[in-house]
Amino acid sequence: MQSPVELPRIQFACCGFGSSPICLGTCVCYPVARPLRRHCRAVQPFSWHQAGLERLPGREGTVRAGAGSGARPMLNYGRAHQDNITWGAFSMKTKRRKNSRIRALYVRYLRPYIRQDIDRQRIKLPYFVLGYWPLILLKNLSPLDKLRLFWRFLVIDWFIVHAHRPSEISVVCRALSERRAQAGEALLEAGCFNGGSSAKFSVLCSMLGYRLSIYDSFEGVEELSPEEKSESYDFSGEYAASEELVRENIMRYGEISVCSFHKGWFADTLARTRVPYPVRVAYIDCDVAKGTREALHGIVPALVHDGWIFSQDFHITPVVNLLLDEGTWMPLGKGMPIISKLGEQIAGIRFGGPLIAEEAA
């Protein structure tokens, strides 16, 4: 168990304008964020273990400091629409109030009149487009390339129905652009739906020299187990799109030359063996804990030292539980990762990087 002094080392992503994982250390951001009513968007310890926390038995998603640590932090995250943290005298509710009011208005007055998914996506675009602002911060791209990237993302948002938000794509893009590709490195996407996210990633991959490997059943979300069904919304069979459609979309709006396609259930592809190329970034978006676990089996052993894994399903209780469970990671041979919640639905996971290096020093 670590000392109480180290306990408050929680990573904040608090800018409020999007999902920039700006970490200002302990809780410096909070006094700044509160007056602006920009609630901190995400609070996650690097890993429960490193932070000296333990899960409370029988209370999913809740952790507390271990006995003797002196602090009593309680984190309650990822449930429906609230994230709360109490840390001694320090307590806060994270985000979403403003968002949910606007959403409620949209659901009540606008959505009933818009039938097509693509039209709904177009209506929402002016609101969500601000989530692309972190593209300005991308490294290893010229200003013109950033502008081109932004424009192509907008075109994709306009024409392909997808299941992500611009802010989530920006988080992944920032991680990938930390450096250009080295020999054979790839961005791996597990779960592509119509290929909206794939098309976006393919454009950035081609600019930075990465390959894009796309894994999907092309039959929609796998049937959920009864246990998962009881814990979350049942996505079984949703998001089905054929491989031909995805190829066509990427050909039209992305960069097909950097893509490879791996058709099949993750149990038959990713879970079989480690993928045979170095993975710089993996983006898992399959809505199911079972599929996420299977994807991790192929990905984690192939992840490069400064690699990132993103889970786009960090709002789904069984997936959250899976990712926060030590038992998920230990058999994969790299120990417990650092997990940071970087948006409403997305978590970033990494095994190396500056925070760990700093600790080692």
Q: Residue numbers of the site for ligand SAM (CB under 6 A)?
A: 162-164, 191-193, 196-197, 216-217, 219-222, 239, 265-266, 285-288, 291
Residue closer to ligand SAM, measured from CB, 135 or 286: 286
Q: Work out how close the CB of 3 gets to ligand SAM at its nearest, in angstroms, rounded to a whole number.
A: 41
Q: Name the residue whose CB lies closest to ligand SAM.
A: 191
Residue among 65 and 199 whose Cβ is closer to ligand SAM: 199
Cα–Cα distance for residue pair 118/246, rounded to 1 Å: 16
Distance in Å, CB of 181 to ligand SAM, minimum:
21
Q: How far is the CB of 239 from ligand SAM (least distance, A)?
A: 4
Q: Are strands 303-311 and 279-284 parallel, antiparallel or unpaired?
A: parallel
Show the tokens assigned to 326. Answer: 């030590």
- Say how far apart CA 275 and CA 269 lie, in whole Å: 9
Q: Which helix (H) or strand (E) holds 354?
A: helix 354-360
Nearer to ligand SAM, 239 or 261 (CB): 239
CA distance 75 to 54: 11
Q: Which is nearer to ligand SAM, 185 or 285 (CB)?
A: 285
Measured from the CB atom, the residue of 14 and 224 that comes closer to ligand SAM is: 224
In the chain, DSSP finds a helix count (H) and a strand count (E) of 12, 14
Cβ 288 to ligand SAM shortest distance, Å = 5
Smallest gap from Cβ 91 to ligand SAM, in A, equals 34
- Angle formed by the axes of helices 143-159 and 243-253, to 10°? 140
Work out the angle at residue 31's Cα, subtended by the Cα atoms of residues 27 and 35, and round it to the nearest 5 degrees: 150
Report the residue number, 51 or 275, with the smaller CB distance to ligand SAM.
275
Nearer to ligand SAM, 39 or 211 (CB): 211
Contact indicator for 202, 192 with CB cutoff of 8 Å:
no
What is the closest distance, in whole angstroms, from the C-beta atom of residue 271 to ligand SAM in the complex? 9
| Tokens read off for 116 | 């097509």
Residue 101, CA atoms < 13 Å, CB-side half-sphere? 3
H or E segment to which residue 305 belongs:
strand 303-311
Q: How far is the CB of 60 from ligand SAM (least distance, A)?
A: 22
| Torsion angles phi and psi, residue 52, rounded to 5 | 75, 30
Residues 6+ apart with CB under 8 A from 72: 64, 65, 86, 87, 88
Is 50 or 312 the residue whose CB approaches ligand SAM more closely? 312
Question: Based on CB atoms, which residue is closest to ligand SAM, 76 or 249?
Answer: 249
Q: How far is CA 135 from the centre of its chain?
A: 16
Phi/psi of residue 211, nearest 5 degrees: -90, 160
Give CA–CA dist 278/198, Å, rounded: 18
Specify whether the CB–CB gap between 306 and 134 falls below 8 A: no
